């Protein structure tokens, strides 16, 4: 029986895992989790203080000012409509402070695992392949699906190392299915982020010996290399990035990066305002005609790189503030490696996933992808703040 204290955390767990099945479900389920929490919280906000909360409020204030100063309010609003999952950082840590850690892990891995199996069965033709754009996913959007798989990999892999016997074999098999699902869907950023997370978990866990760590990391590197040796695949093309950067990145990214760089150089310190990038793309004499055929137009236009999106919109000032908040989330986790190793490693892996996928996409302003990151970070900090964690340290 799920207690009323655990119910909001259970709903949050389901919200994260639901991304593998439905793009929109996480929104409804997470809102329900917050409503349940507020109805049963019993002043828990006063009992726990979120370490990054002041900087979080500063970031929200900066976003509000940037929106107010934007030259195009409708385009700025479109840019910001996907950042609402930042609010998870105000609720999720408090919700997870008194939750059952193992319950979160079981719910998340079970629901996400079923989606991964569904994906693999489609690939082998056992289940009818009906997904759009050739992707082997469930009823969810491709990005939502692969992000859920990516965040599941470090969680599942850590538990594989931690457990023994039949549980280890089961978790290893599940982790392999997650990786297989990522590979067959050929989303390069997510696949390589997952490979990096395997290395992070091996390097930072406090369970296996140093010698075994080095051997396993070597095996992971070999796995990553093997994964890029299929030249007819999107992932395989990455091996040619130094020889043919425009072909590997794709024409859209290559053209957008050039436009964004030119726009940034015109106002490097404070940028041109939220929602301003589309005007530069539309007015670019070299690439505008080609990009009309390849990308959405008007305010829907976004750069396939979050750092460049920030630089064009808010300049170096905005990049420093956003990156500073990211470091505010990341750096304390390294201090938790001795006392809360598992949640610290999961948190560091989540930061790595969000950072790496942001390099080649606008992850932080895509609601479902930002939600995967903020809910995971909420789980991590909730466990760090929990009374059970403190008792273990003492």
Supply the pLDDT for residue 218. Answer: 87
Predicted confidence at residue 79, as pLDDT, reads: 85
Outline where DSSP puts E strands in the chain: none
Contacts of 197 (CB under 8 A, 6+ apart): 150, 153, 154, 157, 349, 352, 353
Position 307 scores a pLDDT of 94
Mean per-residue pLDDT, 185-191 = 84
Per-residue model confidence (pLDDT) at position 389: 59
Task: State percent of the chain over pLDDT 70.
Answer: 89
Q: How many whole angstroms separate alpha carbon 227 and alpha carbon 309? A: 30
CB burial of residue 330 (10 Å; 0-12, 13-18, 19+): middle
Q: Which residue has the higher pLDDT, 364 or 116?
A: 116
| Whole-angstrom distance, CA of residue 40 vs CA of residue 44 | 9
Encoding tokens for residue 317? 């000032």
- In b/e form, how buried is each residue of 26-55, taking b as 16+ CB within 10 angstroms? bbebbebbbebbeeebeeeeeeeebebeee
Tokens of 381: 């900090």
Question: What is the pLDDT confidence band of residue 92, given thresholds at 50, 70 and 90?
Answer: very high
Band (pLDDT 50/70/90 cuts) for residue 237 is low
Residue of higher predicted confidence among 211 and 317? 317
What pLDDT, on the 0 to 100 scale, is given for residue 132?
61
Of 199-203, 248-252, 371-375, least confident by mean pLDDT is 248-252
Read off the tokens for 100. Answer: 């059952």
Contact 113, 159 (CB under 8 A): no
pLDDT at 231 over 50: no
**Is the pLDDT at 392 greater than 50, yes or no?**
no
Determine contact, residues 154/351, Cβ cutoff 8 Å.
Answer: no
DSSP state of 273: -
Q: How far apart are CA 246 and CA 14, in angstroms?
A: 40
* Mean pLDDT of all residues in 13-42: 89
Of the candidate ranges 228-237, 276-285, 301-310, the one whose mean pLDDT is the lowest: 228-237
Asked if pLDDT for residue 296 goes beyond 70, the answer is yes
Averaged pLDDT, 293-316:
89
Tokens 């905005």 -> residue: 318
pLDDT at 313 > cutoff 90 = yes
Reported as a single tens digit per residue, the pLDDT across 34-71 is: 998 888 776 666 666 788 999 999 999 999 999 998 88
Residue 143 pLDDT > 90: no
Residue scoring higher pLDDT (252 or 110): 110
Provide the sign of the torsion angle of the four alpha carbons 346, 63, 58, 9, taken in this order.
Answer: negative
What is the percent of the chain with per-residue pLDDT over 90, rounded to a whole number? Answer: 53
Mean pLDDT computed over every residue of the chain:
87
Q: What is the pLDDT of residue 228?
A: 66
For residue 46, what pLDDT is reported? 63
Structure tokens at 261: 């760089």
225 pLDDT higher than 80: no
pLDDT at residue 279 tops 80: yes
Predicted TM-score (pTM) above 0.85: yes
Determine the average pLDDT of the residues in 185-193. Answer: 86
Mean pLDDT along residues 357-361: 88
CB 180 within 8 A of CB 120: yes
**pLDDT confidence band for 136 (50 / 70 / 90):** confident
* Whole-angstrom distance, CA of residue 348 vs CA of residue 201: 9
Q: Are 14 and 111 in contact (CB under 8 A)?
A: yes
Flag the least confident range among 203-207, 269-273, 289-293, 373-377: 289-293
The Cα 156–Cα 159 span in angstroms is 5
């Amino acid at each position: 029986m799920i207690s009323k204290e655990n119910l909001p955390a259970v709903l949050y767990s389901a919200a994260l895992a639901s991304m593998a099945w439905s793009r929109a479900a996480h929104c409804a389920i997470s809102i329900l989790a917050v409503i349940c929490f507020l109805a049963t919280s019993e002043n828990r906000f006063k009992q726990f203080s979120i370490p990054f909360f002041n900087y979080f409020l500063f970031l929200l204030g900066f976003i509000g000012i940037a929106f107010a100063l934007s030259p195009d309010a409708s385009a700025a609003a479109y840019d910001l409509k996907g950042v609402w999952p930042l609010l998870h950082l105000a609720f999720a840590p408090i919700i997870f402070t008194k939750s059952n850690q193992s319950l979160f892990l079981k719910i998340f891995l079970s629901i996400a695992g079923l989606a991964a199996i569904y994906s693999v069965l489609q690939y082998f033709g056992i289940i009818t392949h009906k997904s759009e754009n050739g992707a082997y996913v469930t009823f969810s959007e491709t990005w939502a699906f692969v992000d859920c798989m990516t965040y599941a990999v470090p969680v599942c892999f850590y538990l594989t190392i931690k457990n023994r016997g039949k549980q280890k074999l089961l978790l290893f098999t599940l982790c392999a299915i997650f990786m297989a699902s990522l590979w067959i869907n050929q989303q390069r950023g997510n696949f390589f982020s997952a490979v990096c997370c395997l290395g992070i978990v091996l390097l930072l866990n406090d369970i296996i010996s140093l010698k075994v760590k080095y051997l396993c990391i070597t095996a992971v590197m070999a796995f990553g290399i093997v994964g890029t040796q299929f030249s007819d695949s999107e992932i395989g093309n990455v091996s040619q990035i130094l020889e043919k950067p425009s072909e590997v990145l794709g024409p859209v990214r290559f053209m957008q990066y050039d436009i964004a760089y030119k726009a940034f150089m015109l106002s490097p310190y404070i940028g041109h305002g939220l929602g301003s990038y589309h005007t530069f793309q539309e007015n670019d004499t070299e690439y505008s005609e080609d990009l009309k055929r390849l990308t959405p137009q008007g305010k829907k236009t976004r750069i396939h790189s979050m750092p460049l999106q920030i630089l064009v919109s808010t300049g170096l000032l905005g990049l420093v503030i956003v990156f500073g908040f990211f470091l505010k989330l990341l750096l304390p986790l390294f201090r938790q490696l001795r006392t809360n190793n598992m949640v610290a490693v999961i948190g560091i892996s989540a930061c790595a996933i969000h950072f790496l996928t942001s390099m080649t996409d606008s992850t932080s302003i895509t609601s479902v992808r930002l939600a995967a990151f903020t809910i995971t970070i909420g789980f991590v900090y909730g466990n760090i703040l929990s009374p059970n964690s403190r008792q273990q340290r003492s």
